[in-house]
Structure 1
């Protein structure tokens, strides 16, 4: 059966989400995220697209992409093939890395453009990784404030221009907008916050069942399949210690 053809955006802008197969991690080290950003920059420099926002999480990523010289399907195919080739070679694995095709939603107006951008930048906060968007290294948030000294990947002019023509004034508008609460869920993305909350409930339940120590941690991993990072968030145990226990 052939795949259903995707609807095209009249603006050429799409909110894209890619997640790991079986919700597994697609970035095992910070170096992997850096490589992915370089791939984005390389493809973008060829005029294939503009990138208005991004956020790289351990097991999924979000992009706010605008088509330029090529269509979104070919853009995502090139990005995916290049990164999977790198990942499989580095970790001596074969087979797919991403779950199915990328998910996408058309961005047809400025309102959705802004709320999708906010949602993307809020991902690390919602997951409990950081307390504020600026503390997360692997998103385009700090590029909007010109606070990143290293690699600049995002094209910030379009969104900042919505807030005003003066850069400083536009950045202030951006910051105020980012403070607003957004309860909208996009792309049917599973909520990592819900996943962590479920893990916390199981952790507490195991304690009530008088299951303690290393057995309690192993049981939590067995029941949830959560990554070491998430187990650390739930239990408060150092990631290195968890790694030693689960060996």
Structure 2
């Protein structure tokens, strides 16, 4: 297994990407986004997880974060949110794509090496150590510009599910520790 993308520095600040299986646009409903936010807030409060910046898109999320044993925290986050998002999709009478989404998630589980019942997230979390100010600023800009480049909003701070609001001096959805 490659060591290229592993969180080796226990005190390091990392840029992390967590992607939905097949990059499917699943995270399109407020209920699903709130599951992710509530889980991140729990990790902050209970799991020694520091969040510096974040952005949830329709098929992935980016975090700038730090935590002792980051790999285990991300694993637990993904395991919990996978279960909760699967349940939310299954129980949502308004979900017009329910059959397709459940098929996709179930198929990914069956095809996984562990032959799981379902699989929501792609394997890994692609941690990149941010060890200088230039890298921090570049990743922070990239993360906050994601919804703008996707055409969802004209200004980063207009995207509710992002820390861009905090960095623009507004109250955001989650508490963040400023990097710059």
Please confirm whether the aligned pair reaches a TM-score higher than 0.5, indicating the same fold: yes
Q: Work out the CA distance in 2 between the residues paired with 1:33 and 1:7.
A: 26
Q: Deviations over 1:94-142 (max 9, x none)?
A: 4111122111211111221111111100001111111111211110011
Contact 1:40 / 1:153 at 8 angstroms: preserved in 2?
A: no
Secondary structure of the residue aligned to 2:127 is strand
Aligned pairs for 1:105-144 within 5 A:
105-144=128-167
Aligned residues: 153
Q: Work out the CA distance in 2 between the residues paired with 1:136 and 1:123.
A: 10
Q: Work out the CA distance in 2 between the residues paired with 1:72 and 1:35.
A: 20
Corresponding residue of 1:182: none
Pick closer, same or farther for the CA change 1:7–1:137 going to 2, 3 Å.
closer
Say yes or no: does 1:81 pair with 2:79.
yes
Larger Rg: 1
Flag as ranges the 4+ runs of structure 1 deviating above 4 A.
none
Say yes or no: does 1:145 pair with 2:168.
yes
Pick closer, same or farther for the CA change 1:151–1:10 going to 2, 3 Å.
closer
Q: Deviations over 1:186-237 (max 9, x none)?
A: xxxxxxxxxxxxxxxxxxxxxxxxxxxxxxxxxxxxxxxxxxxxxxxxxxxx
Say yes or no: does 1:12 pair with 2:12.
yes
1:85 shift after superposition: 0.9
Secondary structure of the residue aligned to 1:102 is coil
Contact 2:162 / 2:173 at 8 angstroms: preserved in 1?
A: no
CA RMSD of aligned residues (A): 1.8
Contact 1:17 / 1:60 at 8 angstroms: preserved in 2?
A: yes
Larger RCO, structure (CA 8 Å, separation 6 or more): 2
Correspondence for 1:101 among 120, 124, 128 = 124
Corresponding residue of 2:65: 65
Q: Work out the CA distance in 1 between the residues paired with 2:21 and 2:69.
A: 24
Q: Work out the CA distance in 2 between the residues paired with 1:22 and 1:153.
A: 30
Normalising by structure 1, we get a TM-score of 0.58
